[in-house]
Amino acid sequence: MAMLAMLATAFVACDNGDDDNESQSYKGTTGGHEWVDLGLTSGNLWATCNVGATNPWDYGNYYAWGETETKNNYSWGTYKYCNGSYNSLTKYNDKTNYGTVDNKTTLESADDVAAAVFGADYSMPTTADWDELSNQCYWVWTTNYNGQNVSGYIVYRAKSEGDKGVKVYADGTALASYSLSDAHIFLPAAGFRNDSDLNLAGSYGYYWSSSLDESSPRSARYCAFGSDYVGPTYIGDRYCGFSVRPVRRTN
Q: Which of 162, 150, 135, 124 is nearest to 205 (CA)?
A: 150
pLDDT in tens, 111-142: 999 999 999 999 999 999 999 999 999 999 99
Alpha helices in 86-207 (DSSP H): 113-118, 127-136
For residues 188 and 205, is the Cβ–Cβ distance under 8 A? yes
Q: How far apart are CA 91 and CA 104, in angstroms?
A: 7
Q: Model pTM greater than 0.85?
A: yes
What does pLDDT average to over the chain?
A: 93
pLDDT of residue 23: 75
Q: Amino acid identity, residue 157?
A: R
- How confident is residue 15, by pLDDT bands cut at 50, 70 and 90? low
Beta strands in the chain (DSSP E): 27-30, 33-37, 45-47, 122-123, 137-142, 152-157, 167-168, 184-188, 192-194, 197-199, 205-212, 219-226, 229-237, 247-248
- How confident is residue 14, by pLDDT bands cut at 50, 70 and 90? confident
Boundaries of every domain in the chain: 33-248
List the Cα angle 158/59/178 in 5-degree steps. 20
pLDDT of residue 251: 84
Sheet holding 219-226, edge to edge: 205-212, 219-226, 229-237
List the Cα angle 243/245/249 in 5-degree steps. 155
Q: How far apart are CA 69 and CA 78, in angstroms?
A: 12
The pLDDT of residue 56 is above 50: yes
The DSSP output letter for 148 is S
The pLDDT of residue 7 is above 90: no
The pLDDT of residue 32 is above 60: yes
- How confident is residue 191, by pLDDT bands cut at 50, 70 and 90? very high
pLDDT in tens, 61-80: 999 999 999 999 999 999 99
- How confident is residue 1, by pLDDT bands cut at 50, 70 and 90? very low
